[in-house]
Chains A and B, each alone.
Chain A
Amino acid sequence: MNGAQRCEENATTEPSVAGISLQEATQFIWLEADLLDGQDYSAWLALWTGEGRYVIPIERTGDDHADRLNVVYDDRAMREARVQRLKSGLSMSASPSARTVRTVSRFRVLGEHAGGTHLRCAQHLVEYKYDRTRTLAADVSYRLVRAAADSGPRIALQEKVVRLINSDDALFGMGYLL
């Protein structure tokens, strides 16, 4: 990220709010990974801000997700509907879904500002169902912010973009969340 972009991000922040350290961000993302592998989707939904956007693009480059076809382009309502579907017992791809184990690492901060951070990391996910084990690798970028909560300020997900290494190739049905 160049200096100009970093300044721009700084300009949009509220100076009174404390930033999010890399250690805090990492702990948050590992928690999220653990919730997803454990399919604790209610807890996962609670990690988000109301305006948060969950995106899995098809094209590897570009940020104009709204005007392109994606694998996932979820606002809050779609996230909730997605979780409801996966937990409904009515979807044969999710009942049971493949088991997943994911590792997240290679964190790099792309932009920091008071009250928020933008970072990118690598995710390796292994899934297993029937007699088959498969891997999915992705670059994942996060925008995390400090949000108010009854129990005090918390870190929340403002944007998560999962760029699969093979997003523009043939994938397969997934009955879980990336």
Chain B
Amino acid sequence: MTVQPAPRPAAVQSPPAAPDFGSLVREDRVHTSLYTDPTIFATEMDKIFANTWVWVAHASEIPTPGNFKTAHVGTQPVIVTRAPDGRVHVLLNRCRHRAGSVCEQRAGKTSVFVCPYHGWSYDLTGRLRGVPHASGYDASFDKKDFPLISLRVEEYAGLIFATLRADIQPLEAHLGRARKWIDLFMKQGAGFPIKAGGAHRFRFRGNWKIQLENTTDAYHFPIVHRSFLTSLDDETEKVFDVLGQGGWVEDLGNGHSVMVMIPDLVDLEQNLDAPIPERFQALADELALEHPPERVRRIVRAVGGSGFNVNIFPNIACSMAFFRVLRPVAVDETEITHMVITMDGGPPAANRARLRLHEHFQGPMGFGSPDDAEGWERVQRGAAAGTDLWVMLNRGQERDVSAETGMRAAYQMWQRMMTA
């Protein structure tokens, strides 16, 4: 029989050293453990995703009272609802009794969420409406004490964000200089309201920040997406020559950034007298049957989307012609949603063109996304080697579209939040 050494009194044990997250980010590089360390991931969910504005919906996804969709704030499932008074609520998707999820539909319309386990029911604002066999509770039980937990909600330009924090700055201040670019982005409605019209969703085995970086990475485009570029006609291939048009990247503060790849397509309401690209000529001819020439030009100019990506820290980007949403699942697993944008009430031919353009690049079998996803998985696989090495973000000067400026901006915010 072996004798177990007596445990040392707790007071004598040295406390575990608090991880020094700040030292893992330098101005021009980040430590490999940011992709691989489960402790860092858990801390990110707490210090970043539970601590800032997180995008949960576009207003068009819940257009009328009773509409709802499910989403996530970090790894926490939420329901986004539009109440009878038109206000948006974001509720933790967890019954206050014994934690059952009260909604498992991706989207829909209802007036009530019922927990399937014991039948507790909640209205669209989260208020607890009914408790079966309520006589089993004592007199102190008050339904008012058990609503679905409600997050703070604010909206900018149709983008709905939620936060678990009551005391952080308002959304508009958080977005700051990114607002100008969001406004420009929304011009691709060509005068019609922007509508989130369906989405591709896919997962890859890699850390969420690998995708966060990618939305502000023009450097990879001609390499990773050569097979997409060669599928285009010559004129369109020139449009997607993202490194050759004098683009740039700007740090917009608070971890946000913009990457301008096609400067000509920054403002879709300008240059309306430019020649119609050959790839949109058939569409223009079709639209001309029902719309005046100025309107046709505005729609055709908008139909291919904007020439830039606005990366909003931590989980949403307004990316050329679509919304890119990232959802951290685990330290080495991330879910990506690419939501197509259509013109609400716009010409069906123009909206079909937008759908086909989105399908061409995006999605699990698009000509672009599978190669991106493969690249991101290769980063995660490679990061298993050289665990003491750094990931380099030192590329690029001012006014260089392939500068890693946007990534540096995001990691500065990461450092600020993780050490706060």
Instruction: Check A70–B367 contact: CB distance below 8 A.
Output: no
Does A91 lie within 8 Å of B202, measured CB to CB? no
Nearest CB in chain B to that of A73: its residue: B359
Chain A residue, CB-CB nearest to B342? A69
**Does A171 lie within 8 Å of B202, measured CB to CB?**
yes
Q: Which residues of chain A are near B370, meaning CB under 8 Å?
A: 91, 93-94, 173-175
Cβ of B226 under 8 Å from chain A:
yes
Task: Given A58-B200, A67-B352, A69-B340, check contact A93 B371 (CB 8 Å).
Answer: yes
Distance (Å) between the CB of A5 and the closest chain B CB? Answer: 26
**Are A56 and B199 interface neighbours, CB within 8 A?**
no
Q: Please, how many residues of chain B have a CB less than 8 angstroms from a CB on the other chain?
A: 39
A67 to B354, CA, bound (A): 10
Contacts of A81 in B (CB 8 A): 231, 367
State how many angstroms separate the Cβ of B194 from the closest Cβ of chain A.
Answer: 15
A71 touches B201 (CB 8 A): no
Stretch of A23-31, A82-90, A102-110 with 4 or more beta carbons under 8 angstroms from chain B: A82-90
Residue B335, interface by CB 8 Å: yes
Q: Say yes or no: A174-B365 contact (C-beta < 8 A), given A91-B227, A92-B224.
A: yes
Determine if A67 and B348 form an interchain contact, defined as CB atoms under 8 angstroms apart.
yes
> Considering only CB atoms, which chain B residue lies closest to A68 in the complex?
B198
Q: Which residues of A contact B203 (CB under 8 A)?
A: 170-172
Residues A23-78 near B (CB distance < 8 A): 56, 58, 66-73, 78
- Residues from chain B with Cβ under 8 Å of A168 in the complex: 106
Contact B365 A71 (CB under 8 A): yes
Docked-complex contact A90 and B227, CB < 8 angstroms: yes
A172-B373 contact, Cβ under 8 Å, with A71-B200, A73-B356: yes
Q: How far is the CA of A159 from the CA of B378 in the complex (A)?
A: 36
Interface residue B204 (Cβ < 8 Å from any Cβ of A): yes
**Within 8 Å of chain A (Cβ to Cβ): is B355?**
yes
Docked CA distance A176–B365 (Å)? 8
B74 at the interface (CB under 8 A from A): no
Residues in chain B near residue A58, CB distance under 8 A: 198-200
B201 engages A170 (CB within 8 Å): yes
Known: A68-B355, A93-B373, A173-B370. A85 touches B231 (CB 8 A): yes
Residue of A with least CB distance to B367: A85
The answer on a CB contact under 8 Å between A85 and B352 is no
The secondary-structure label for the interface of chain B is: helix
A178 contact set on B, CB distance < 8 A: 365
Inter-subunit contact B365/A56 (CB<8 Å): yes
Interface residue B230 (Cβ < 8 Å from any Cβ of A): yes
Interface of chain A, main secondary structure: loop
Interface positions of B from 328 to 354, Cβ below 8 Å from A: 335, 340, 348, 351-352
Q: Give the CA-CA distance A122 to B375 in the complex, in Å.
A: 32
Contact, CB under 8 Å: B369 / A173: yes
* CA–CA, A118 and B420, complex, Å: 63
Instruction: Please give, as numbers and ranges, the residues of chain B lying within 8 Å of A93 by CB-CB distance.
Output: 370-371, 373-374
When the two chains form their complex, are residues B227 and A85 in contact, meaning their CB atoms are under 8 A apart?
A: yes
B206 to chain A, nearest CB (A): 12
Partner of B352, one of A66, A72, A90, A173: A66
**Chain B residues within 8 Å of A67, by CB:** 348, 351-352, 355
How distant is the Cα of A82 from the Cα of B359 in the complex, in angstroms?
12
The reply to whether the CB of B358 lies closer than 8 angstroms to some CB of chain A is yes
Name the interface residues of A152-178: CB closer than 8 Å to any CB of B.
168-175, 178
What's the Cα separation between A70 and B338 when bound, in Å?
12
**B364 contacts the other chain (CB 8 A):** yes
CB of A38 to closest CB in B, whole Å: 19
The reply to whether A174 and B364 form a contact with Cβ atoms under 8 Å apart is yes
Give Cα distance in the complex from A68 to B99, angstroms.
36
Distance, CA A178 to CA B356, complexed state (A): 19
Contact (Cβ within 8 A) B375 A171: no
B197 at interface, CB cutoff 8 A: yes
Q: Answer whether residue B307 sits at the interface, using C-beta atoms and an 8 A cutoff.
A: no
Which residues of B are in contact with A by a Cβ distance under 8 Å?
Answer: 106, 197-204, 224, 226-228, 230-231, 335, 340, 348, 351-352, 355-356, 358-360, 363-365, 367, 369-375, 377-378, 381
Known contacts A69-B200, A174-B364; 12 further A-B pairs (Cβ under 8 A): A67-B355, A68-B355, A69-B340, A70-B359, A71-B359, A73-B359, A82-B365, A85-B227, A88-B227, A94-B370, A170-B335, A173-B374
